[in-house]
Amino acid sequence: MALSQVLDVTTRYNAAKSETLDIGGYDYAIVQLVNPSGTVTFKTSNDANAIEGASDGSAVSATNFTVVQGTNLATSAAASTLAATGLMRFSYIGKFLQIDGGGTVTCDKVLVRLFKIN
């Protein structure tokens, strides 16, 4: 049995032209972009930027991101960017997933489906 949830992060993504999600504890994530105005890059990190004894860190404070490859579900090819409507699947990456529009790219929709397999 699998559990899943769909997050609509469109408003937050378009406001910042980026969105960082804590996907720790999930087995995989599928990101759907609809009509991006340019190229969106996917990144990951395990660094929550925690301060020992004061903060565990979070997706908001996460740092040290690196580009990550996912699987483009239309082509089955490994990719780290999307420049058109499509879906990307990410398995076994860091604790945080960043959807990065480089400060300029907007999307009509940004949906993230998270899966946990029991």
Give the list of residues 6+ apart from residue 6 with CB closer than 8 angstroms, or none. Answer: 111, 112, 113, 114
Name the region of 73 (left: φ>0; alpha: ψ -120 to 50; beta: rest).
alpha
Which pLDDT value is given to residue 83?
97
| Residues 25, 29, 34, 40, CA torsion sign | positive
Which pLDDT value is given to residue 85?
98
Distance CA 98, CA 110 (A): 12
pTM: 0.93
pLDDT band (50, 70, 90) for residue 16: very high
pLDDT 10s digits, 36-91: 999 999 999 999 998 877 777 899 999 999 999 999 999 999 999 999 999 999 99
User: How large is the average pLDDT for residues 17-34?
Assistant: 96
Q: What is the DSSP string of 18-67?
A: EEEEE-TT-SEEEEEEES-SS-EEEEEE-----BTTTB---TTT----EE
Give the list of residues 6+ apart from residue 74 with CB closer than 8 angstroms, or none. Answer: 86, 87
pLDDT band (50, 70, 90) for residue 112: very high
Which pLDDT value is given to residue 66?
98
**How high is the mean pLDDT of the chain?**
94
Count of CB atoms within 10 A of residue 97's CB? 28
User: How large is the average pLDDT for residues 85-100?
Assistant: 96
